[in-house]
Structure 1
Amino acid sequence: MDLKLNWNFKTFEALSKQELYEILRIRNEVFVVEQRCCYPDLDGKDQKSHHLCGFRDDNLLAYARILPPGVSYEFASIGRIVVSGQGRGMGYGIELLNESIKKVEELYGKTIIRIGAQLYLKRFYGSFGFVQSSGIYLEDDIEHIEMTRQITEY
């Protein structure tokens, strides 16, 4: 049985209304409801980003947005990294990060990537070559750190 996700990768303008709805739904489901964070999800960065959506049987189970250099950080970045509760424990987070890094490199070449990570996920992101590059800071009452992935050659 194939448990891999089917990936869509689009600019904001190319998203259908239904795809945008599903993106906002999964972000709301996890970041607002599950993590109990009241935060400004609509931050004006979606329009400048590419959107990576992982579907299984028409259900959006994994999502990340790829931001160009200069939008969140001086480097390209991956943000709003999320796996739905229905998709956890199946390796979709690993698949999502691998796809996200691949898409950053397709868009911007081999480049430094920076993320804002929840502190408890430091080891997970570290397994992809991300290293803590800031002190701990609170964002929406959750401990975060910046993490940076240097240019790698395989």
Structure 2
Amino acid sequence: MFECKQLTEMSAETFYRLAQIRTAVFVVEQACAYQEIDAIDQSAYHLWAVDEQETIISYARIFLQDEQVHFGRVLVAPAYRGQGEGHRLLHEILQQIKQLYPKRNIQISAQHHLAGYYGQYGFKSIGAPYEEDGILHIDMQKESFATDSF
């Protein structure tokens, strides 16, 4: 079951759990020291799914910046990888964006090795790959999908 809330709509305990898994994946697992919790968290929509025991399965945040819709911090908990959860999450991200920010283009900063994955959903690479926090990334964009059947 997915939930989508802004920081002011969730409990401190919920945000703590989301921050905990984000840090476990992006800082510890990927061995990447950077400011994981940032100012974007204050205005973003946080999207996550939990299992029957309330364990977080997947997470992403959706936000508006410079009149463009972005999403990031996309993760699937290690125990749920390889089971289609990433596709379920991305589908839900696109559904939420369609409701929250209709008819707006989406721009993301994707880890370069995931460019083909996002390409399956209509994202196209824009610009050259670049290194961010020691990981190769590429900017990608998806045109307004108001007519898509997501």
The corresponding residue for 1:47 is 42
The corresponding residue for 1:145 is 138
Shift of 1:69: 3.6
Distance 1:65 1:131 in 2: 20
The corresponding residue for 1:65 is 61
RMSD: 1.0
The corresponding residue for 1:86 is 79
Shift of 1:85: 0.5
The corresponding residue for 2:125 is 132
The corresponding residue for 2:13 is 18
The corresponding residue for 1:3 is none
Distance 2:80 2:13 in 1: 20
8 Å contact kept, 2:60–2:73: yes
Runs of 4+ aligned residues of structure 1 deviating over 3 Å after TM superposition are: none
SS at match of 1:68: strand
Shift of 1:140: 0.8
Pairing 1:109–2:105 present: no
Pairing 1:7–2:11 present: no
Shift of 1:99: 0.4
Shift of 1:121: 0.4
Letter in 2 for 1:68: L
SS at match of 1:93: helix
SS at match of 1:132: strand
Distance 1:54 1:110 in 2: 25
Question: TM (normalized to structure 1)?
Answer: 0.91
State the Cα deviation string for residues 50-88 of structure 1 (Å, max 9, x = none). Answer: 110111120001000010142xxx410111111111110
Instruction: Report how many aligned residue pairs link the two structures.
Output: 146
Structure 1 unaligned spans of 5+: 1-5
Distance 1:12 1:48 in 2: 7
Distance 2:80 2:126 in 1: 29
